[in-house]
């Protein structure tokens, strides 16, 4: 099978490519990525020479390029997105362009080239926020996005479903909880805290650290995506969760303990605007339909993640400086 992966140089996308080749070594993957600040070809250093792999530097909003690539594939797995909520608060422009317009261009290419199988990666944030006693999100939860990021992802989800209903495009969607693991850009909370502590810097905790998220190890997520691609019903959405509802403060203290630090390294900062209190995902549908469930418990996954960042300072140190990161790629990949 020939697969187009968008955003494959990002955190989840790069782990997906590695996961897919480990489980489907006979397939071919084209990775389309525009190498924005969070896209890093070093995350696929061990894949670069695989004869079944090809990297294309390009933008999913480039209609001609996308159309040409889609002519030669059997499946599109769409990871490419602007994804950091804090950045969407500062400006929504890139989020609308990439997450909405880019998705539309991909869908048109899939439709116009014979109805290419399309899997869309989405987020739990499209459902809004939960209170302490609210039931978990599921596939029937009404959309209620509360940031420019989640609104743009909600719009893209609706577009994908519209192409199924209007054009018969064979699509599936997965809405997933917070991912963690190796190769995650160090603006996200877990790698930020780990790398800060490795640099003897304090960790910034929003508000009182009471906000709750459900966490999933990235390989568990990608196993769920594979299961949906192979066994999911067309036109359906599947929620993928980790079964780990944890407060930010709990995670902070756990990382501190694993790193041999104490709570003196915590710095409380002003809370994020519109900070959603709780996310949690009910993944019963995925269990019932194809037997998927997360296999990595949070403590084990976090320990693996901490160890990876300890052992791969070469990967993340220059990423802590945007200027240094961009200069590196301008020099080495001839953008």
Could you read off the pLDDT of 95-138 as tens digits, one per residue?
Answer: 889 999 999 999 999 999 999 999 999 999 999 999 999 999 99
Residue 236: is its pLDDT beyond 60? yes
List the catalytic residue out of 59, 82, 124, 214: 124
Could you read off the pLDDT of 310-327 as tens digits, one per residue?
Answer: 999 999 998 876 544 444
Q: Which residues of 40-53 are buried (b: 16+ CB within 10 A; e: fewer)?
A: bbbbbeebeeeeeb
Which pLDDT band holds residue 210 (cuts at 50, 70, 90)?
very high
Residue 335: is its pLDDT beyond 80? no
Active site residue 108: no
| Ranges 83-87, 183-187, 223-227: which has the least confidence | 83-87
List the catalytic residue out of 125, 157, 220, 282: 125
Q: What percent of the chain has pLDDT over 70?
A: 92
Residue 70: is its pLDDT beyond 80? yes
**Structural domains of the chain ordered from first start:** 2-332 (3.40.50.720)
Average pLDDT over residues 56-67: 97
State the average pLDDT for the chain. Answer: 92
Residue 37: is its pLDDT beyond 80? no
Active site residue 149: yes
List the catalytic residue out of 149, 163, 217, 309: 149
Active site residue 219: no
């Amino acid at each position: 099978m020939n697969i187009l992966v968008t955003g494959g140089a990002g955190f989840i996308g790069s782990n997906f490519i590695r996961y897919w080749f480990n489980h489907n070594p006979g397939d071919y993957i084209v990775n389309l990525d525009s190498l924005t600040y969070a896209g890093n070809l070093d995350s696929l250093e061990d894949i670069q020479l695989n004869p079944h792999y090809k990297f294309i530097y390009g933008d999913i909003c480039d209609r001609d390029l996308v159309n040409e690539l889609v002519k030669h594939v059997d499946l599109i797995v769409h990871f490419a997105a602007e994804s950091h909520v804090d950045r969407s608060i500062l400006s929504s422009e890139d989020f609308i362009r990439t997450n909405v317009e880019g998705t539309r261009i991909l869908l048109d290419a899939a439709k116009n080239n014979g109805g290419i199988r399309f899997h869309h990666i989405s987020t739990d944030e499209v459902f809004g926020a939960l209170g302490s006693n609210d039931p978990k999100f599921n596939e029937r939860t009404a959309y209620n996005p509360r940031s420019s990021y989640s609104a743009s992802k909600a719009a893209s989800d609706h577009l994908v479903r519209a192409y199924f209903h209007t054009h018969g495009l064979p699509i599936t969607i997965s809405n997933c909880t917070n991912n963690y693991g190796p190769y995650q850009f160090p603006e996200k909370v877990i790698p930020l805290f780990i790398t800060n502590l490795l640099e003897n810097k304090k960790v910034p905790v929003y508000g009182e650290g009471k906000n709750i998220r459900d966490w999933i190890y990235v390989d568990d997520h990608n196993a769920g995506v594979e299961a949906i691609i192979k066994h999911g019903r067309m036109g359906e959405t599947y929620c993928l969760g980790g079964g780990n509802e944890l407060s930010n403060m709990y995670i902070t203290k756990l990382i501190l303990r694993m790193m041999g630090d104490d709570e003196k390294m915590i710095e409380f900062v002003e809370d994020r605007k519109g900070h959603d209190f709780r996310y949690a995902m009910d993944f019963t549908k995925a269990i019932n339909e194809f037997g998927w469930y997360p296999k990595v418990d949070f403590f084990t996954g976090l320990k693996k993640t901490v160890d990876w960042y300890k052992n791969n300072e070469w990967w993340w140190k220059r990423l802590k400086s945007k200027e240094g990161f961009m200069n590196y790629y301008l020099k080495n990949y001839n953008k």
